[in-house]
Structure 1
């Protein structure tokens, strides 16, 4: 066997015993560097190349023993606490769907099969979550710009040829349609995390370019007419810019502009007398005889999920839902602080911000404080696309947690 091949065979034997393949590339680089350093030291001391190679292998230790030690050190990590929080929230949502269909006073739900449909969504979402947990999220990084441009292009295409159903813009395909405004923030988070992970905010030109990168999709979402998606995405952008160390003199005006935009949009809704469609606060749901407006009646399993939970199961149940979400978001943010990869950290914070923004908008809408429609409660409201996307987001969170001690992707992994 050639002298160089001895090192490669040794490294291969070590990696055979390490089941976590995510660390193979970094361990190979580290072992190779260490072996060649020992070899050069031995050659400098007067040994022949063959003797130096053999001594280097002896000094570093038996491949089987070292492999088992590294296997114990780099075992796959699973964030069971976050998984349990998500599953508890999903089970609560599934229970409410069961109650809707089989025990609710709302008779029009009894023929909709929303419980069985929700069960299918959750099962399929769980499969996607496990798939993304196994997938190395760092493989998205080289395609960040491609994903950004492609997502913007898809939204523009939807604006050109899409059709509106109940005010929501869909991109029609041969076998169905896609609610791109639901998918858009999820795809943009993945792309922006990759773009911003090494962005130079100290450079004047790049600072303005970084701002333009998020301004364009916000403008497009506004043109599409999805206020809830626009607000959610705006909050996501502000958070991701802050985590990526954007300058405060750029971030503060951008945030102020977002607040002004929100005030103007809400004022316009009230002026247009649209608020009455959505301001059905808790006392209306809790009145005797369940007197609610028909507009709210048919959206109670989507937009008005929190209101119905409190009406049917009491304030303690509503508080329990609130605590589940607060704990989940805190858990994700706390974990993000320990992630070594800048890409993983920004991506994790972006996903946590999505959950937080959607939940806060849902609370404000349910209490009649915001006249916004189409705000689903994460993991709980009825719907296929948002449940699948949220479970996929959890899969990405699990993938990041599994590799939180690893840096950016190595050349051998790419």
Structure 2
């Protein structure tokens, strides 16, 4: 008889859940309904009712399963965060439009042969599909793979350094049909790995602190051998993760002191390039002409009006304008007004990510969003300040806008995970199946 009685409660709960389309909330709702029904049942039994009568009273008190199910379905409907999606799509479409003008006006040498517009269109379509797929995917399932993602990222970075194809001094991962700048997109994977590893990390013990620093320092050291800009992004990312996962102030200060070895490592590996880092302060000071590009940037930006000069930028003015200097092209061609609007959309996107992090209940989801926020913010700032001549030429792309398949796709995938987190912002960790029975 006990089994039949339990089945009666389970049958009611299952009928309710069948009407709730958002399956992500089923586990929480089952637990909540079970708790309410058991509480009412116990109260009824304490008032001398039989167990069968108590169960019937509990179900009657909760209400008709169909009515309750429809109400809960309306309350827990999966939401697409348009306040995140709209600025991302706006920036991306503008980037695609820029690729069209760059190609049709031959702003970059061999732009027509490269077909930067057609390739970008393919990258954006693939990225959009993956973004929507990750929005549907339950991000919480990634937690158990955090260590695997970390180890895999380290292995791929090492393989890229040792066996990659060198193009313009940068090591690319050669996978046969494509060459991927894995170093550039490694922060995406490190965010996922670090969020899972440090989600419940205790920085208070000396062993855990040292181990945490080692875990963060290994990829940082490897990345710094290939890209100082990506290393800087990773430094900001690591410090942000430490602060969010409640590391002590003294630990953060020690970590900051420890990462100062990165620029020294870069100087040892690239002595000539490191000397040129501060040429932007006085571009005319180097007789060898290392400040030429800074001078070109200043001339190009100073000639741009509020509404721009059109799309006739000379290909010899600034090299690689479709990748590292896309913001300069925006200012020159579309004017400072378009540049300001672009920055506003970027700021709105960053603020929205911060709001999503604040409203996310699960600490793992919170760490993920904060990690992506740190990575995107640092990349945007570095890209814009470099284009304006306010910082060294790091050689960094603008998220969602610059030409390049690997970074466009991973940028869109990052947004997909952020949308997935927003969709499930009120949910805690995934519960074991046996606890849902």
TM-superposition CA deviations, 1:212-250 (whole Å, max 9, x none): 211111111123x21111111111111111111111101
The match for 1:76 is 78
Moved more, 26-35 or 249-258: 249-258
2:272 pairs with 1:271: no
Normalization by structure 2: what TM-score? 0.87
1:263–1:8 distance in 2 versus 1, CA, 3 Å:
same
Q: 1:282 aligns with which of 297, 302, 309?
A: 297
Residues paired across the two proteins, number: 411
Moved more, 326-335 or 185-194: 326-335
The match for 1:391 is 412
1:233–1:78 distance in 2 versus 1, CA, 3 Å:
same
Q: 2:171 aligns with which of 169, 172, 179?
A: 169
What is the distance in 1 between the residues matched to 2:414 and 2:367? Answer: 13
TM-superposition CA deviations, 1:34-64 (whole Å, max 9, x none): 2233333333443333222222222222111
Task: Specify the SS of the correspondent of 1:23.
Answer: helix
2:312 pairs with 1:301: no
- Does the 8 Å contact 2:243/2:252 carry over to 1? yes
The match for 1:15 is 17
1:253–1:279 distance in 2 versus 1, CA, 3 Å:
farther
What is the distance in 1 between the residues matched to 2:364 and 2:428? Answer: 9
Q: 2:403 aligns with which of 382, 387, 390?
A: 382
What is the distance in 2 between the residues matched to 1:113 and 1:129? Answer: 24
Structure 2 matches for 1:280-359, cutoff 5 A? 280-285=295-300, 296-297=318-319, 299-359=320-380
1:369–1:85 distance in 2 versus 1, CA, 3 Å:
same
Superposition RMSD in Å? 2.6
Normalization by structure 1: what TM-score? 0.91
The match for 2:246 is 245
* Unaligned runs of at least 5 residues, structure 2: 277-287, 304-311
CA shift at 1:291, angstroms? 6.7
* Unaligned runs of at least 5 residues, structure 1: none
The match for 2:32 is 30
Task: Specify the SS of the correspondent of 2:114.
Answer: coil
Task: Specify the SS of the correspondent of 1:171.
Answer: strand
Moved more, 268-277 or 189-198: 268-277
1:360–1:286 distance in 2 versus 1, CA, 3 Å:
closer
What is the distance in 2 between the residues matched to 1:305 and 1:213? Answer: 34
What is the distance in 1 between the residues matched to 2:95 and 2:24? Answer: 34
CA shift at 1:305, angstroms? 0.6
- Does the 8 Å contact 1:275/1:371 carry over to 2? no
The match for 2:208 is 206
